[in-house]
Structure 1
Amino acid sequence: MRILYAVQATGNGHISRAMELLPHLSRYGQVDVFLSGSNSSLDPQLPVRFRNKGISLFYTKNGKINLLKTALNINPVQMLSYARQLPLQSYNLVLNDFESITSLACTLQRVPSLHFGHQASFSSPKTPRPKIKSLAGELTLKYYAKGTAAVGLHFQAYDDNILPPVIKSEIWQAQPTDKGYFCVYLPSFTDEVLLPYLSKIREHTFQIFSRQVKKTTVIGNCHLFPVEKKAFNNSLIHAAGLITNAGFETPAEAMFLHKKILAIPIRGQYEQYCNAAAMAQLGVHTLDQIDEQFTENVKRWIAMPSTVYHKSFHMPTATIIDRMMQIADEQNIITAQSHQLLFG
């Protein structure tokens, strides 16, 4: 069986999840990966066969999507040409983790696909949204990368087609401790924005994972590290808490480790406002933005008691893949030849 796994590389979360899923997905056949986007700072240790700049997101130094720069870097003619040329007929199963070119290719070539990942959970109206919905945001979640069927991942089972978050094996097997420092991962903000606020909280140490530094740098109570998977996992496992954007993978792992979380949605990224709404329901403290009150907000958050998260909605990654493949079979996404090979 041949599987094409299309992964959005506009951030580290999709890459990290794909790296964790790959060994289990490979039990079902040969996996080729298509990466689209250029925002990930992680080394994609994946069998990448196809790569395209796709739609890459750019940010201002203050954590907001730079719409003009993002738009100017989109080449729709090139994307359309690439979608037409993708050899989808060579694959028995196409998995799409919120990747727009593969979604377009499947439509043009009339090939079924399974939208699989966190964004796929928003196919259900039961998945949490912010109090004020965004029409543009809803349309993006619905049409940016759609499939024949959807299997979502989220913090809770908001609907029948939603499975638990993928927790990396290092996190799943970890013995978490509290060494008193706070782990910070806010890649949409520059160091020059964050340091003036966090450096004022001298009684606490912050381990900041930065896109801007190439080696460990210590500036007062702020320790800056390059973004690297092993170092970040270790920091999170032993941290007192996590300050991060309102993404999905990193908060899910922090909740699994029972770490207190301060989540700040990326401005202009509707999915993160949805995630913030879901996290708030689970007891996570959220902020709308970083402003002149950020230092005091962080101090108040540090003083808050830790949230107790329930671990009931978790399952091993191998089980998630098995369930996803079962749904793909039930929805006739897998070809007849592959079905016979897989399920007898």
Structure 2
Amino acid sequence: MARIIYGVQGEGRGHSSRSKIIIEHLLQQGHDVKIFTSHKGYDYLSTIFDDVTNILGLGFVFDGGKLDISKTLQQNLQDGTIDAGKTMYLLYKTFKEFQPHLAITDFEPFVPYLKGLGNIPFLSINHQHIISQYHLEYPYKWRADYLRAKTIVDNMYWFADHYYVTSFYYPRAREMFRKKSTLIPPILRNEVQDRKLADNGPILIYATTTDARMVLDVVQKTKYQYIGYGFDEGSGTKGNITFKKTGTGEFLDDLASAAAVVTNGGYTLMSEAICLGKPVYSIPIRRQFEQMVNGYYLEKLGFGLYDLVPIRKRFLMFLEGLPYYRKNMRNDHSRRQGNTRLFKALDRKIEEIRLP
């Protein structure tokens, strides 16, 4: 069986949630996997797997509900100056002792450079490379945000043997990536797939930014009931909103029964909601192009609406259109989960490696 080093971007929860599913599959196949991650990724994965190492990770700085590019760069440069050398030495030491056959990364920037130490195969699995490897549609006024995001993604790493790009929308690949980049439908957690579905529960709101939380003033004036996660209110009820503290089990139950979902433009929850047939009202983080383009395609596909700042008239349009969005999702078979497809692709790649 193969010895694998697996890097996971630690910012947010989406990368680590997806990586958990894939790592569990690799372990079930009998492979030996060492995990390197940071921040929330380490906090999460270290409670599930034994062999998890905490390393330097990228962070993001937000100001007034939008991504602050200059402060983000400043913070990462300061942290990187101190810890990058330590992280690379730790990876080098692990490489020499572990002698991996393969490196995989979910947008973690250090593990890819193991390829140069022993010319081992290197695979990339994430959503972000859709920005740099595929022809995307977006409003022209987002051009500067797109170019910034593309520059960042291009420079994270550019030498993977193959890229598996998870997505609920399927744009055309750029010419140079048509043979080495594959679009994969969303990877769903077993906990999500196993839930009994309904669409008669309260609308689920998951909001962590200032702009997204502005939706409270909008929803309180509607006839629907809501469950809110990610707010400072803790638990309790305010008007037609029941606030809850984030907890995976109860959250997924509420997602499975929700009439619809209100969230930012983060890929993981949005894609899970779509796969479960839940219409989405998206409030992407401004200047974070990945979230913005996710919202754009959500609306283009007829699965919901997006606004960079909540607009009451548009939200009421969203509520009126719930049957229309559900019908579109029922008729779109491409939104189904891609777990099996990705697992088979990884198994084939590992079989191609000449193990000693």
Q: TM-score, normalised by structure 2?
A: 0.81
Structure 2 counterparts to residues 229-268 of structure 1, below 5 A: 229-268=248-287
> For 1:102, which of 96, 99, 111 is the aligned residue?
111
Q: What is the distance in 2 between the residues matched to 1:250 and 1:277?
A: 16
The answer to whether the Cα contact below 8 Å between 2:212 and 2:283 also exists between their aligned partners in 1 is no
1:341 is matched with none
2:34 is matched with 32
Pair 1:314-2:315 in alignment? no
Pair 1:55-2:62 in alignment? no
> For 1:164, which of 170, 179, 185 is the aligned residue?
185
Q: What is the distance in 2 between the residues matched to 1:24 and 1:106?
A: 23
The answer to whether the Cα contact below 8 Å between 2:59 and 2:75 also exists between their aligned partners in 1 is yes
| Cα distance change of structure 1 residues 212 and 44 upon mapping to structure 2, 3 Å threshold | farther
Q: What is the distance in 1 between the residues matched to 2:337 and 2:282?
A: 24
Shift of 1:179: 2.5
What per-residue deviation string (whole Å, max 9, x for no partner) do you get for residues 285-311 of structure 1? 3334125xx233322211114312112
The answer to whether the Cα contact below 8 Å between 1:179 and 1:238 also exists between their aligned partners in 2 is yes
Matched residue SS, 1:289: coil
Q: What is the distance in 2 between the residues matched to 1:148 and 1:84?
A: 24
1:326 is matched with 348
| 1:249 aligned partner, one-letter code | T
Pair 1:279-2:298 in alignment? yes
Shift of 1:182: 0.8
Shift of 1:238: 0.5
The answer to whether the Cα contact below 8 Å between 1:212 and 1:226 also exists between their aligned partners in 2 is no
| Cα distance change of structure 1 residues 80 and 6 upon mapping to structure 2, 3 Å threshold | same
| Cα distance change of structure 1 residues 119 and 226 upon mapping to structure 2, 3 Å threshold | same
The answer to whether the Cα contact below 8 Å between 2:228 and 2:242 also exists between their aligned partners in 1 is yes
Structure 2 counterparts to residues 14-93 of structure 1, below 5 A: 14-28=15-29, 29-38=31-40, 45-47=47-49, 48-60=51-63, 62-74=64-76, 75-77=79-81, 78-86=83-91, 87-89=94-96, 90=98, 91-93=100-102
* Higher RCO, 1 vs 2 (CA within 8 Å, ≥6 residues apart): 1
Q: What is the distance in 2 between the residues matched to 1:264 and 1:190?
A: 7
CA RMSD of the aligned region, Å? Answer: 2.9
Shift of 1:111: 4.6
Pair 1:297-2:319 in alignment? no
| Cα distance change of structure 1 residues 324 and 43 upon mapping to structure 2, 3 Å threshold | closer
> For 2:127, which of 118, 122, 126 is the aligned residue?
118
> For 1:207, which of 221, 227, 233 is the aligned residue?
227
Matched residue SS, 1:94: strand
Matched residue SS, 1:174: coil
Q: What is the distance in 2 between the residues matched to 1:109 and 1:73?
A: 32
The answer to whether the Cα contact below 8 Å between 1:106 and 1:112 also exists between their aligned partners in 2 is yes
Q: What is the distance in 2 between the residues matched to 1:32 and 1:211?
A: 35
2:164 is matched with 151
- Does 153-162 or 303-312 show the bigger shift? 153-162
The answer to whether the Cα contact below 8 Å between 2:42 and 2:54 also exists between their aligned partners in 1 is no
| 1:244 aligned partner, one-letter code | T
Pair 1:337-2:340 in alignment? no
Matched residue SS, 1:226: coil
Q: What is the distance in 2 between the residues matched to 1:40 and 1:187?
A: 20
| Cα distance change of structure 1 residues 304 and 190 upon mapping to structure 2, 3 Å threshold | closer
Percent of aligned pairs sharing the same letter: 21
| Cα distance change of structure 1 residues 144 and 15 upon mapping to structure 2, 3 Å threshold | same
Matched residue SS, 1:100: coil
Pair 1:142-2:154 in alignment? yes
The answer to whether the Cα contact below 8 Å between 2:10 and 2:42 also exists between their aligned partners in 1 is yes
The answer to whether the Cα contact below 8 Å between 1:64 and 1:267 also exists between their aligned partners in 2 is yes
| 1:299 aligned partner, one-letter code | L
The answer to whether the Cα contact below 8 Å between 1:19 and 1:44 also exists between their aligned partners in 2 is no
| Cα distance change of structure 1 residues 320 and 111 upon mapping to structure 2, 3 Å threshold | closer
What per-residue deviation string (whole Å, max 9, x for no partner) do you get for residues 64-88 of structure 1? 1133543343222222441243123
> For 1:183, which of 204, 211, 233 is the aligned residue?
204
Pick the structure with more helix per residue.
Answer: 2
| 1:141 aligned partner, one-letter code | V
